[in-house]
Structure 1
Amino acid sequence: MGEILDLVEARLRTALGEPDARAAVTFLGTDRFEVLRFLDSQGGSGVVRYATLGMSAQPMTDPSALLADPLKGPRAELVLSMRAGLADTDQVLRPMAVLAASPQVEGVVVAPGSSLDLGEPLWPGAPFSSVLVGEPGGLVADLELDAPLEPVRFLPLLPMTPNEAAWKRVRGARELEERWLARGTDLRDPLRASVPLD
């Protein structure tokens, strides 16, 4: 499925520019996963984006399915956007590869509204150990593939503090996103505190 990954990388480059760094991680019994870093300094925004490459090589399958279909099933890559220079966010490369490997390792289907928990900070000293998976189609458009393959969707990751993750488990993703929006939360701030949840 190397041709799929070539198309995915081309789509990422079209949307985000040329990557200025990349790292590769291989886990026992899985494919190779890469994480590409894109620095967006246009207009002084100073946003760094990290995108996985390799998750979409295989479709995600329902863990309850008796037999995995090698062609059909959702495909995705993950994208994390953070303000550059405020924290050592480059240490997120391996954790992002771990998240990208979760469909192969744990048999989970990563979809908008779901939570992914690392059990450790996203980078050393980060106030986040889990992420909320956002809706695709904003930053990087879906990549259509030839039938019967489903499109590759580029899913944004929204870091959650432990309090936000616990609140999301009880109240749901939509209510957490509405709370972030109502409070004007900067989800790209690597140092942000938890949104008030009272």
Structure 2
Amino acid sequence: MADVLALVEARLRTALGEPDARAAVTFLGTDRIEVLRFSDQASGGIVRYATLGMAAQPMADPTAVLADPLRGPRAELVLSVRAGLADTDKVLRPLAVLAASPQVEGVVVAPGASLDVGEPLWPGAPFTSVLVAEPGGLVDDLDLEEPLDPVQFLPLLPMTPNEAAHKRVHGAAELQERWLNHGTDVRDPLRSSVRLD
């Protein structure tokens, strides 16, 4: 069976180009997680951070007695922000923490979920959590050999604490619709919270 992470990295390079930086983080009792940075000046100064390592193992249902070593959802995380407005490179460790959460906490990361790191995503960031968005827009799913599930590349949308509280009450779709209606640039690393009244 082909190395899943080699295929994942190849898919990321095809979709986003060559990474211009990478960092590795290892947490006690988990596999190594890398975070790759892709700077694309052609896309209006957007920098993208993608995890590499989360998809090595399928995410297991925390209520299952035994985890299936082959079957189960696989994913990597992708965060896109405007370059040059904040020191967003400090997001590498928080992203690695989120990518390790299926191994550490037994959670299944899926679209519509909220993930909280408990601290600013980067210095001065008004965000401590992210909304997991639907895959397929930026990086296509990666099909693997049977019986393995495909790898999804899940976009992360930073949320302010007020937005995260609003999402818990009203749901992910309502928050995303509010962002859309107010013309919120969710890639702005310094943006304020959308109006919630």
Task: Report TM bin, short chain.
Answer: over 0.9
Task: Name the residue aligned to 1:21.
Answer: 21
* Matched position secondary structure for 2:96: helix
If the length of structure 1 is used for normalisation, what is the TM-score?
A: 0.98
Unpaired runs of 5+ residues, structure 1, are none
C-alpha separation in 1, matches of 2:42 and 2:142: 25
Displacement of 1:150 in angstroms is 0.3
Task: Name the residue aligned to 1:59.
Answer: 58
Task: Name the residue aligned to 2:148.
Answer: 149
What does 1:12-161 align with in structure 2 at a 5 Å threshold?
12-42=12-42, 45-161=44-160
Unpaired runs of 5+ residues, structure 2, are none
C-alpha separation in 1, matches of 2:191 and 2:26: 31
Q: Aligned pair in 2 of structure 1 residues 183, 74: CA closer, same or farther (>3 Å)?
A: same
C-alpha RMSD of the superposition:
0.9
User: Residues 26-81 of structure 1: CA distance to partner in whole angstroms, max 9, x if unpaired?
Assistant: 000000000000001015x0000000000000000110000000000000000000
Counterpart amino acid of 1:140?
Answer: V
* Matched position secondary structure for 1:109: coil
User: Residues 109-128 of structure 1: CA distance to partner in whole angstroms, max 9, x if unpaired?
Assistant: 00000000011000111000
C-alpha separation in 1, matches of 2:21 and 2:8: 17
C-alpha separation in 2, matches of 1:36 and 1:69: 28
Identity of aligned residues (%): 81
If the length of structure 2 is used for normalisation, what is the TM-score?
A: 0.99
C-alpha separation in 2, matches of 1:2 and 1:173: 35
The ranges of structure 1 where at least 4 consecutive aligned residues each deviate by more than 2 angstroms after the TM superposition are none
Displacement of 1:2 in angstroms is 7.6
* Matched position secondary structure for 1:166: helix
User: Residues 93-117 of structure 1: CA distance to partner in whole angstroms, max 9, x if unpaired?
Assistant: 0000000000000000000000000
